[in-house]
Structure formats: C-alpha cells, structure tokens
Amino acid sequence: MKLSNATLAVDVMGADLGPKEIIHGIKLAIDEYENLPNLTLVGQEDVIKKYLKEFKLEGVPSIKIVHASEVIGMDEKPIQGIRHKKDSSMVRSLDLVKEGECQAVLSCGNTGGLMAGGVLKLRPMAGISRPALSCIIPSKDHHFVLTDAGANPDTDPKHLAHNAILGSIHARIELGTKNPKVGLLTIGTEEGKGTERIHETHEYLKGLDGIINYTGLIEGYHLFQKDVDVVVCDGFVGNILIKSFESLFRMLLGLLHDEVTQTPLRKFGAGFLKGAFRSVKTKLDPDRYGSAPLMGVNGIVLKAHGSSNRYAIMNAIKTASRMFTLDINNQIQKDISEANAKMKAMDEVKEEAAAAAAS
C-alpha cells in the first residue's frame, strides 16, 4: 500500500503521559522521517488543537482531527468501556478503521479495551479465529518476537500454529529477519515433553515447512541465547513473561543505581561508566519499537505502552509505515490460508490412520 493512500488513526487520549506527549511524538516522527502515512488525531478537539499549535503542526496537510468527547480509563472493564463509551477516542479510532476512513489505529489506552474492540469491531481475518498480540523483546544483541503476549489465554493447537505464522511475519517486518527461526515454548526440548496441546501443536508446526522456519521445542532459558527469532506460546504464558521481563528490568536498573550510589568512591567510579550504562539502557529500551500489533484482524491495530513517551510514539508511527508499505495483512492472509490447507490435510491423514487402526 502506498503511504499517500494510507491513514493512521492516533488515539490521542488515554495515555499515562497525556495528549501533549503523544503529539510531541508525532512532531518527532514528522521531523525524523520523510515517508509517513496520513494521520487522523482522535480525541478532544480543543486539546488537540492546543498542542498542534504548540508544536507548530497547525495546517499540516497530512493531519486531520476527529473529535471524541470520552476516554476509556485504564482501570475500566474492557467490554463495558467499548460498549458504553461509544464516543471515546479509542472506539472512534477503531470505527474509523472499520468504516475504511483509516487503515490502522495506534493507542496507548486500556489494553483489554483495545484488544476486545479490535476483535469485535474489525473482526478476525478469514481463517483466523483468535488474533494474537505480538511484541518484540529486547535482548543483548538478538531481539526476538513473542506471540501471543496476552490477547488469548485459552488456545488450541491450531491457534498456536497461527501464532507461529503471525509472529514470523512480524519478525520479518519489524526485525528484518528474512527467514526467522520459530520455537514452541514448553518445559523441555525432548519429544513428548509438555501438555497434549503442545504435542499436537508441535506436529502441526513440523508440517508447515515452507511457510515458517520451525526449529522445534524450546525452554525458558533459550529465550535470550539467540536460539530463535520467534517464541510461540499462548496469551496466558506470554503475558506473564512480558510482565516478568519488565519487572526484572526495572529491578536490575534500581539495584544498579542503589549500588553505584552507595558510597562516594562508587559514585566517582560510576562517572567513568556512564557511557556503558547508557548503552545498556538503549539496547534494552522497550520504546525502541514503540508498539505491539494485534495480528490477524481486518486492519492494523497497534498497542503502545500506557506510559509511552514521545520516542515510543515516534517509533510506533514508523512501525505503522512499514506495515503499510509491506502490506502485512495480505502476507498474513496468504500464509494462513496455505497453513490451514496443510493442517486440514494432516487432520485427514490422522483420521484415516485412526480409522484403519480401529478396524
């Protein structure tokens, strides 16, 4: 899709740092990148105009405003928020995609609300029953994709196989990995380890050669060892992992700060290591990618962290540009259709073998 024909709806309200930070991120994106989609800013019009004026974005041809009077709070129940606040910035943004006026939405708001709204309003793509939230996990020198990060805690083997395809496409687009290695997360790498659902998923994934580059089962300690580019799991496990990673990262930063400032001598020595500390923080900074896409719906839905700063918003807009340019949903539709045909054939062979054994 040409970027001149694409429009990204930006939910300006609902972020922890407020509308000003979102519009500052838009300003940075416009200053930093030449090729961007058109932007429709959704929220309270007077607030948006105030900050557009502050950042000298008034009259920019690629920016328009759609007024929305309500905001879905972070603590609101997702379905209730979507149903009862129809003039919220999040719902109005999703409606713009549903109606074809925009092709993607970016929001820092209530995660559950955005996931539920994305599925209910935009509907899953043909052949997909459970869209998945895909996110990139920073590592030392080998970042990887985790899918699903929390959209669907209860999945079956075919859902997990779809997660592998969605995560693989995400890795190709966002990480630039041509043939990403895919691993299925379980409790052991030996055949037969894990639940029955894992066994069935493993068999499906082995049969999807040519669609994904499946390398087999992986355990938790493989995640940061360059073994795979895509980690496949259900949303229950994925969400726990994500929050554990974030908590651990914050704890280590806090611990490091406390230790190096404990004595005057340590403070003095830390001055010589500022560059190293800054480099580590940059490598592991989640704002580097800005957002996590809800993969597998009719449209593009990008979930940015509630506490996203201007740089995260800038990077999220760049991610939307790549997804438009590389036509992500056509790639998904093609691979899912081919995978479903292969899995159906595998099921038929399995049923024939079972019938033959029974007779």
Which tens digit of pLDDT belongs to each residue from 72-85?
A: 998 889 888 899 99
Give residue 88's pLDDT.
96
Are the CB atoms for 37 and 6 separated by under 8 Å?
A: yes
Under the banding of pLDDT at 50, 70 and 90, the label for residue 91 is very high
Under the banding of pLDDT at 50, 70 and 90, the label for residue 283 is low
Q: What's 135-285+331-359's CATH class?
A: alpha beta
User: Residue 325 gets which letter from DSSP?
Assistant: H
Q: Which residues, 6 or more positions from 259, have their beta carbon under 8 angstroms from its beta carbon?
A: 266
Give residue 254's pLDDT.
83
Which of 106-110, 229-233, 262-266, 325-329 is the least confident region?
262-266
- pLDDT at 255 > cutoff 90: no
Percent of residues, the chain, with pLDDT higher than 70: 96
Give residue 329's pLDDT.
94
**Total Cβ atoms within 10 A of residue 90:** 29
Cα gap 224→230, rounded to integer Å: 11
Question: Strands 132-137 and 292-295, how do they pair?
Answer: antiparallel
Residue 60's beta-bridge partner residues?
A: none
Cα gap 295→125, rounded to integer Å: 9
Secondary structure, 3-state, 146-203: EECCCCCCCCCHHHHHHHHHHHHHHHHHHHCCCCCEEEEECCCCCCCCCCHHHHHHHH
Under the banding of pLDDT at 50, 70 and 90, the label for residue 334 is very high
Mean of the pLDDT values across residues 14-26?
94
Cα gap 135→288, rounded to integer Å: 12
Same fold, 1-123+297-326 and 135-285+331-359: yes
Which of 33-42, 210-219, 285-294 is the least confident region?
285-294
Under the banding of pLDDT at 50, 70 and 90, the label for residue 277 is low
Under the banding of pLDDT at 50, 70 and 90, the label for residue 241 is very high
- pLDDT at 27 > cutoff 80: yes
For Cα atoms 284, 175, 294, give the angle at the middle one, nearest 5 degrees: 90
Per-residue pLDDT tens over the stretch 183-193: 999 998 888 77
Cα gap 301→294, rounded to integer Å: 5
Give residue 36's pLDDT.
93
Under the banding of pLDDT at 50, 70 and 90, the label for residue 285 is low
Give residue 286's pLDDT.
60
Q: What is the mean pLDDT of the chain?
A: 90
Instruction: Tally the C-alpha atoms within 13 A of residue 305's C-alpha that lie toward its C-beta.
Output: 19
Residue 7's beta-bridge partner residues?
A: 38
- pLDDT at 38 > cutoff 80: yes
Cα gap 40→276, rounded to integer Å: 40
Q: Domain coordinates of the chain in residue numbers?
A: 1-123+297-326, 135-285+331-359
CATH code for the part of the protein at 1-123+297-326: 3.40.718.10
